[in-house]
Amino acid sequence: MRVELPPEPMHFVNRERERERALRAVEEWRGGGRPLVLALSGPAGLGKTELARLIARTVLDRYPGGVYDVDLDDYRVDGVLDAGDVLAHLLRLLGVEPALVERRFTDRCRQYWNLTADARLVLLVDNVRYASEVVPLLPASGASVVLVASQGPLHDLEDGAAVDLTLPPLDERAATELLELVVRDPRLAGDQESVRALVRLCDGLPAALHVAGRWLRGHRVRPLPQLISELRGEWDEKGVPGVERVWNTVYEGLSRPASLLYRLLPHHPGPTFTPASATALLGLGEATCHTALEELHRAGLLDLGTGTRLRLPGPLHAHALRRSRHDADETAAARVRVLRWYVRQAQRADLLVAGERLTVGDTFEADPSAPDAEIDAAWLYDERHALFACLRLAHRGELDAEAVAVSEPIWTYALDHPHQTDVIEVFRLAVASALRHGRATWIVRTRLQLARPLWQSGQLDEAERELTAAEAATQLLGDGEPDAKLRGSVAEAKGMLLGARGQWADSVGEFEASRAIHAALPNPYGVLLQTYRLGEARARLGQLDTARALLTEAREAAVEQKRERITARISFALAGVLGRLGEVDAARTLYEGALERALLRRSQFEQRRVHGALEKLEAAAGREGEAARHRKAVEEIRRRNGIE
């Protein structure tokens, strides 16, 4: 059972009434085909998230399907929610591998409903702004419960929430109790008047009380009356209202590196950050940044938590942003610094995932003040929102070299995750940056990058316009090897678009032109790839003998060049041709080898594809028992992943 719950908070007071109402609703719920929805609302800093998690932990034993937690602010682009990406994330949490996530939003909704139709699970949805953001995420089972946290009531939630829990600020008794738990200092008992003054300044917000309590803990020598008196004088002089006084006072007691980092964090690209990216943002070295992060944590201005991805909480994010407006130069320099750091890390991840390949972007060197991050195969996916934000930032700042350079790792990410909805928008910006700069290689490459997700999403005419413009830009290229490879890439992309239109006879000429370019260089990998493309096109045209010869040639070259991924793809295509030619045993051998590799890689996508091909092969050969076995395997994979 998957349970996405952090450790319980150290100190949590009050809210007994809200918890009791929530637990009673769980006990009494008889929702049929609709989940129980508990809506927690109130201003930022009231502890809605902590309360939702406490409720989830209390009822955990009733929900064997697990507890899933999603923060919608992680999926906002300039304030707009990418609901498709949220669904993709939930589907992956439910066990669907990325390649099996449906591409269209409506199909993804159905996939999610299929998977949750019989589930008993708890879903926490944090930082909701509108009811329409919640509706697609509701499980299809009435035996599940959804905890929604928002700053305001969601009156337009479809059919309403079963229970609306509007959280008021803590009363003075509860606020004092929380402050005493956080501080644990005998001075408080000796000056209840000063305690009451501080509690009132915090407006009953648990977030502010935690910050104030940690601030008091950091000043244990001075008597409490003197400390509170100094605070009152400072606050009265500056005329700052409410909890802003507490945060300002704590902020002004920070060291220079910690206060600088606090001001810069709201300008980090993407909704979350890591210690490594915070180091790049700060620009003062790894040790200094780690010390600053720990200082912010001790001051209550940042929760380091237990994971590697961090976030500045909402109200503190707004406060830090206000503090940063006094020095635009330091903010601009930090943005450029972290942007270039991200470009370099993305280029390193691209090399790890895709290997050596043609790239046209400038190579970015290491920054002595910000060590390279640890890169693995999942880095591009984990950092996708930051990379998209980097490309937008680079384009807005007219940093065209950075925009084009980061677009190339995003291209590698998009190949493995074709369902990502943001890639078309960011590739449009990359094209605009390339055009603004005017470098021909950049224009050709970025237009090719944009064309593919366009035709994959059915926007064939726009994809054709991009390819026509890319071909026109090749007239500005030189005579070097990279220029020739780009010309070959344009011809290949035109052939693939023609194939997407079903015009396979026309695609043959483009693939042949591309192969000739690569053969003249020579570029052995380019030759084998275009030979494979030609084999696929000939097979589509029913020219099976020619297709067999081409695919056999491509497969032998791929094996010789030790290209495992393309070898598997070519073998699958060749097996299909052999099966159509009646060479069942040879086809079966290739398919079984592909199935073995898919099982070793634990790729359900590949397993489903190979089982489906074997089912057709065995059925055509009259081996119904074997066909039924493969059919059952396909059905099980589809059922497990909610695919209709």
- Those residues whose C-beta lies under 8 Å from the C-beta of residue 243, and which sit 6 or more positions away, are 45, 201, 202, 203, 205, 207, 208, 315
Give, in order, the Cα–Cα distances in Å from 465 to each of 451, 471, 484, 497, 500. Answer: 8, 10, 21, 11, 15
Q: What pTM was estimated for this model as a whole?
A: 0.86
24-33, 204-213, 367-376, range with greatest mean pLDDT: 367-376
Q: For 422-439, how does the pLDDT look when each residue is reduced to its tens digit (9 = 90+)?
A: 789 999 999 999 999 999
Residue pair 179/198 in contact (Cβ under 8 Å)? The answer is yes
CA distance 644 to 640: 11
What one-character DSSP code corresponds to residue 1? -
Instruction: Report the pLDDT value the prediction gives residue 592, as an integer from 0 to 100.
Output: 93
**Pick the residue with more confidence: 593 or 33?**
593
Maximum mean pLDDT: which of 40-44, 176-180, 276-280? 276-280
Q: Please state, rounded to an integer, the average pLDDT across all residues of the chain.
A: 89
Q: What percent of the chain has pLDDT over 90?
A: 59
Is-cis flag, bond preceding 522, omega within 30? yes
**DSSP assignment of 195-237, as one string?**
HHHHHHHTTT-HHHHHHHHHHHHT--SS-HHHHHHHHHHHHHH
Mean per-residue pLDDT, 225-250: 62
368 Cβ contact partners less than 8 Å away, ≥ 6 residues apart: none
Q: Which of these, 40, 15, 23, lies nearest to 147 by C-alpha position?
A: 40
What pLDDT is attached to residue 160? 57
How many Cβ atoms from other residues are within 10 Å of residue 175's Cβ? 26
Model confidence at 360: pLDDT above 80: yes
Q: How far apart are CA 340 and CA 27, in angstroms?
A: 53
Q: Is it the case that residue 238 has pLDDT exceeding 60? A: no
Percentage of the chain lying above the pLDDT 70 cut: 95
Mean pLDDT value across residues 467-479: 96
pLDDT at 146: 94
Q: What pLDDT band is residue 230 in, cutting at 50, 70 and 90? A: low
Give me the phi and psi of 128, to 5 degrees please: -80, 140
Q: Which residue has the higher pLDDT, 415 or 256?
A: 256
Q: Is the pLDDT of residue 562 over 80?
A: yes
Residue 180: per-residue pLDDT? 84
pLDDT of residue 239: 40
CB atoms within 10 A of CB 591: 24
60 versus 493: which is more confidently predicted?
493
Q: What are the structural domains of the chain? A: 16-166 (3.40.50.300), 172-252 (no CATH), 256-326 (1.10.10.10), 327-477 (1.25.40)
- The pLDDT, as a whole number, for residue 519 is 97
Residues 88-109 have a mean pLDDT of 90
Q: What pLDDT sits at residue 558?
A: 95
Going by C-beta distance under 8 Å and a sequence separation of 6 or more, which residues neighbour residue 316?
207, 247, 301, 302
Picking from 122-136, 409-423, 465-479, which range would have the lowest pLDDT averaged per residue? 409-423
Q: What is the pLDDT of residue 214?
A: 80
289 and 282 Cβ atoms separated by less than 8 Å: yes
Q: How many CB atoms lie within 10 A of CB 154?
A: 21
Residue 250: which residues within 8 A CB-CB, separation 6 or more? 211, 212, 214, 215, 299, 300, 301
Asked whether the beta carbons of 476 and 498 are under 8 A apart, the reply is no
- pLDDT beyond 90 at 206: no
pLDDT of res. 236 = 47
